[in-house]
């Protein structure tokens, strides 16, 4: 049986975002969310015969459907303000990096004052020191959001499944915070666009190796969008460390519409695929009318950012389980950092979804 494909939304504008490394435990390191990722994914899609379409440019006001407008405005202006303050010359840092954070227990119960220094403003919205802002970061993040919104519009128009090749990724960006190499939450924007387009109930299934603390935050109080995730156990020492535990089940009207399946490091395909089945069962139980898959492939064996040890075949089996739901589906790219395997993992997963059983 010839392998089928799905349309892929991709733009070269991802290249505008070159984080130039990250600061981790106080040390500047090269980082793994690199420009090459976006181009490797495109090359693999093209070679496998996927049709590649440009995103439609959207007005940035769409972002306010899931993000705090003040954070969006910060992201838009942060790098210009950083340069104007002279940090590229003194002390010699041309990317926006925080050094101080307004922890709730340190600033609670008094009026919030936006700090005057750009170096201090850099800590207001980010959770960590690994998510640097360069000159083109905001433009690229906007274009990644355009990919996710365009995919949603294609599905609303009747296309069964679409892949949004988003870079930078998004699932660690919440309503009013960003981090973990993410700036704007592409998957949440997709899910919200489906809702706004008339889809009643949406399920987000997050396969990235890390918990999508941003997506969980955005939908935590809502009954209309289920957030569900399988990820390496934050309690075992993994990012995002503070969030992603099994007892986080949603709040208020959203009680029961959040499902976390933390995995022990090194578990491999068996327990991970059992968890994927549980996520599919939850999506069906949610009576979802459409699916948004946060497709990180950083759980793959050999990936430098996770210890999950999932095989390429494991990703194909997960895709087949998702296909079994029979729902209109948007795949949104998240992580995946093993540059030798990234393209093959993404194409293999999407192909298995389009042609269940076709890879065996």
Which positions are catalytic?
Answer: 172
Phi, psi dihedral angles at 261 (to 5 degrees): -120, 85
Task: Residue 26: name its binding partner from Zn ion, ligand SP5, none (Cβ under 5 to 8 Å by kind).
Answer: none
Task: Residue 169: name its binding partner from ligand SP5, Zn ion, none (Cβ under 5 to 8 Å by kind).
Answer: ligand SP5
In sequence order, what are the residues at sequence separation of 6 or more whose Cβ sits closer than 8 angstroms to the Cβ of residue 206? 171, 187, 212, 215, 227, 228, 229, 230, 231, 293, 294, 296, 334
Task: Residue 234: name its binding partner from ligand SP5, Zn ion, none (Cβ under 5 to 8 Å by kind).
Answer: none
Residue list 152-181, contact with ligand SP5 (CB under 6 A): 169, 172, 180-181
Considering the complex, state which of residue 58 and residue 172 has its C-beta at the smaller distance from Zn ion. 172
What is the spatial distance between Cα 325 and Cα 334, in angstroms, rounded to a whole number? 21
Task: State the minimum distance, in angstroms, from the CB of residue 265 to Zn ion.
Answer: 14
Concatenated DSSP letters of 39-61: HHHHHHHHHTT--EEPPPP--GG
What is the spatial distance between Cα 350 and Cα 219, in angstroms, rounded to a whole number? 26
Contact string 29-48 vs Zn ion (x = CB under 5 A): --------------------
208 binds Zn ion, rule: CB under 5 A: yes
Task: Residue 146: name its binding partner from Zn ion, ligand SP5, none (Cβ under 5 to 8 Å by kind).
Answer: none
Q: How many CA atoms does the CB half-sphere of 70 hold within 13 Å?
A: 7
299 binds Zn ion, rule: CB under 5 A: no
Secondary-structure percent of the chain, ordered helix, strand, coil, rounded to 5? 35, 15, 50
Considering the complex, state which of residue 167 and residue 286 has its C-beta at the smaller distance from ligand SP5. 167
130 binds ligand SP5, rule: CB under 6 A: yes
Angle between helices 137-156 and 186-196 (to 10 degrees): 40
In sequence order, what are the residues at sequence separation of 6 or more whose Cβ sits closer than 8 angstroms to the Cβ of residue 143? 11, 13, 14, 16, 55
| Encoded tokens for 226 | 């289920």
In sequence order, what are the residues at sequence separation of 6 or more whose Cβ sits closer than 8 angstroms to the Cβ of residue 42? 10, 52, 165
Task: Residue 244: name its binding partner from ligand SP5, Zn ion, none (Cβ under 5 to 8 Å by kind).
Answer: none
Residue list 242-281, contact with ligand SP5 (CB under 6 A): none
H-helix segments, 85-136: 104-107, 118-121
335 binds ligand SP5, rule: CB under 6 A: yes
Contact string 161-200 vs Zn ion (x = CB under 5 A): ----------------------------------------
- Residue matched to tokens 């809502």: 222
19 binds ligand SP5, rule: CB under 6 A: no
Query: Which residue among 37, 300, 334, 352 contacts ligand SP5 (CB under 6 A)?
Result: 334
Name the residues that contact ligand SP5, by CB under 6 A. 24, 130, 169, 172, 180-182, 208, 210, 239, 296, 298, 304-305, 334-335
Name the residues that contact Zn ion, by CB under 5 A. 208-210, 296, 298, 335
């Amino acid at each position: 049986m010839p392998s089928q494909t799905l349309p892929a939304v991709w733009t070269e504008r991802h290249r505008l975002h070159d984080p130039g490394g990250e600061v981790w435990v106080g040390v500047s390191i090269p980082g793994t969310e690199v420009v090459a990722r976006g181009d490797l994914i495109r090359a693999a899609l093209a070679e496998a015969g996927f049709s590649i379409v440009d995103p439609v440019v959207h007005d940035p006001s769409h972002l306010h459907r899931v993000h705090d407008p003040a954070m969006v405005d910060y992201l838009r202006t942060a790098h210009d303000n950083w340069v104007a303050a002279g940090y590229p010359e003194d002390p010699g840092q041309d990317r926006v990096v925080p050094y101080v954070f307004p922890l709730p227990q340190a600033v609670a119960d008094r009026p919030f004052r936006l700090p005057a220094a750009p170096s201090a403003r850099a800590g207001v919205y980010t959770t960590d020191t690994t998510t640097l802002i360069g000159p083109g970061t905001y433009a690229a993040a906007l274009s990644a959001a355009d990919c996710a919104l365009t995919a949603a519009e294609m599905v609303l128009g009747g296309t069964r499944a679409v892949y949004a090749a988003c870079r930078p990724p998004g699932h660690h960006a919440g309503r009013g915070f960003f981090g973990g190499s993410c700036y704007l939450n592409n998957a949440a924007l997709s899910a919200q666009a489906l809702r706004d387009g008339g889809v009643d109930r949406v399920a987000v299934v997050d396969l990235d190796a890390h918990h999508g603390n941003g997506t969980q935050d955005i939908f935590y109080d809502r009954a209309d969008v289920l957030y569900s995730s399988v990820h390496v156990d934050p309690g075992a020492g993994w990012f995002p460390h503070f969030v992603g535990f099994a007892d986080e089940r949603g709040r208020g009207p959203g009680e029961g519409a959040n499902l976390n399946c933390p995995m022990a490091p090194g578990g491999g395909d068996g327990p991970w695929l059992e968890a994927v089945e549980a996520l599919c069962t939850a999506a069906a139980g949610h009576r979802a009318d459409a699916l948004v898959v946060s497709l990180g492939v950083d759980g793959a064996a050999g990936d430098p950012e996770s210890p999950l040890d999932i095989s390429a075949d494991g990703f194909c089996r997960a895709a087949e389980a998702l296909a079994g739901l029979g729902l209109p589906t948007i795949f949104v790219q998240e992580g995946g950092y093993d540059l030798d395997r990234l393209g093959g993992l993404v194409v293999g997963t999407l192909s298995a979804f389009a042609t269940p059983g076709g890879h065996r």
